[in-house]
Amino acid sequence: MPELPEVEVTRRSFAEAIAGARILAVRLGKPLRWPLGCPAESLVGLNVVGVRRRGKYLLIDLDRGLLLVHLGMSGSLRFSGSQPEPGKHDHWDLQTSAGTLRLHDPRRFGAVVYAQGEEAPVAKKLLDGLGMEPLGPSFSPLAFHQGVKASRLPVKQLLLAGKLVVGVGNIYASEALYLAGIRPTVRASSLGPVRIQRLYQAIGQVLGKAIELGGSSLKDFSSADGSSGHFQNAVQVYGRAGLPCYVCSTPVKMIRQGQRSSFYCPSCQR
């Protein structure tokens, strides 16, 4: 599933090119997770003001309203001046004066939703429950500390839930916990202030590095310009079960938490 780094990398790969473009046509393929929410033809003639991100949503601001785009489990965007004929998994095209933005989504868990503004009910339903942005000014050390201490969940489950901090997916939660020296099974509320601060810093470091490396292309992720990510080549524990820890040589362990795989070093993480 594309997580925050992959969505941010995608945003950066086409946001500048599409800004200021005029919408010429909209093509809808098979139904996605949620309906568009407006007649497709009503978007024709609008201008793209810019592209932002909130959690794992891309917000394409128009001069009237906005489009909320979610990549779901397997979605990816392509932006090009000349797209080939749509394939069976190409479910949405936004043709603009600068090029065509296409959503490719084999499992169709992604979505493109129109809202008249961020205060519209559909936008609030999708965005209001999201946690703090881990790479933005709203990521407060105090609020993070309070949220961790208030939770009885295992710390990795808390990170994945997205209510406290958004976008820390499975790969990045495992890597941040390793960097902070915290086992994924530790109850969040049992952590002391020093360990919480280390985790707070580790989240920013791991996500920042993932964006710098273009995200993770474990399966078929690539950005809107077709570039693949390379963070998977820099992981310390994720996917390395049985292999030696880079720090202490203890074999990395893998356990299941909430149907997700967690990787950690039994020696370095307590």
Structural domains in the chain? 4-127 (3.20.190.10), 141-264 (1.10.8.50)
Concerning whether 260 is annotated as a catalytic residue, the answer is: yes
DSSP-derived secondary structure for 178-247:
HHHT--TTSBGGG--HHHHHHHHHHHHHHHHHHHHTT---SSS-B-TTSPBP-GGGS-SSTT-TTSBPTT
Q: Give the closest residue to 103 by CA, choosing from 116, 89, 113.
A: 89
Q: What is the three-class DSSP state of 113?
A: strand
Q: Give the closest residue to 48 by CA, choosing from 2, 11, 82.
A: 11
* Catalytic residue from among 11, 53, 54, 56: 56
* Catalytic residue from among 64, 149, 198, 260: 260
| pLDDT < 50 stretches in the chain | none
What is the pTM assigned to this prediction? 0.92
**Residue 267: its pLDDT value, please?**
98
Concerning whether 56 is annotated as a catalytic residue, the answer is: yes
Concerning whether 195 is annotated as a catalytic residue, the answer is: no
**Residue 219: its pLDDT value, please?**
58
pLDDT tens track for 15-65: 999 999 999 999 999 999 999 999 999 999 999 999 999 999 999 999 999
C-beta separation of 160 from 134 below 8 A: no
C-beta separation of 93 from 27 below 8 A: yes
Annotated binding residue at 91? Answer: no
- Report the C-alpha gap between 28 and 20 in whole angstroms: 22
* Catalytic residue from among 2, 5, 134, 154: 2
Burial of 91: CB neighbours in 10 Å, binned 0-12, 13-18, 19+: buried
* Residue whose structure tokens are 């078929």: 220
Concerning whether 88 is annotated as a catalytic residue, the answer is: no
Annotated binding residue at 54? Answer: no
Start-to-end Cα distance in the chain: 28
Q: Give the closest residue to 165 by CA, choosing from 191, 203, 128.
A: 203
